[in-house]
Amino acid sequence: MSDTVAKQESVYEFSAMRLHGEEESLSQYKGQVLLIVNTASKCGFTNQYAGLESLQKELHDKGFSVLGFPCNQFGSQEPGSSDEIKSFCQLNYGVSFPMFDKVDVNGQDAHPLFTFLKKKAPGVMGTEGVKWNFTKFLVNKDGKVVERFAPQTKPESIKAAIESLL
């Protein structure tokens, strides 16, 4: 992990490229509870887009947002271009939450945001690597990582944890 990432304290210190090609600072989400998820269009968990969108619609006005980060590192389950990903998410699941450009979540080329998330909320037995698509990181209003949820954890089962932070 780079020294820069090691010194960062909140997700608001990062930026990422949106699917439409513009760099966006996560500082624009200050004061919101966030659920940051690595996503994929051709995964067994892809139907979780529906649950994520449901959370977004129900809780957005209370200060919550899902942030989706497509990733092709697990079984090449996100092979599409930015336009293909955007179209898939909107046509199949009506996704209205912010979607970012495809990122790596593990390895030398991992996006710094995911390096930070993994460090702040390690997985089972302290492992930092993301194991599969749809790993979810819950972030409080101060930009601090509160909890990490496994890919098989359905979005609707996280609702109470989200509401407790709103």
Catalytic residue annotation:
43
Under 8 Å between Cβ of 125 and 94:
no
Q: Which of 123, 126, 100, 125 is nearest to 113 (CA)?
A: 100
Closest CA to 103 of 67, 149, 139, 127: 67
Instruction: Quickly tell me which residue has 């947002």 as its tokens.
Output: 65
136 contacts 32 by C-beta, under 8 angstroms: no
The structure tokens listed for 1 are 């992990």
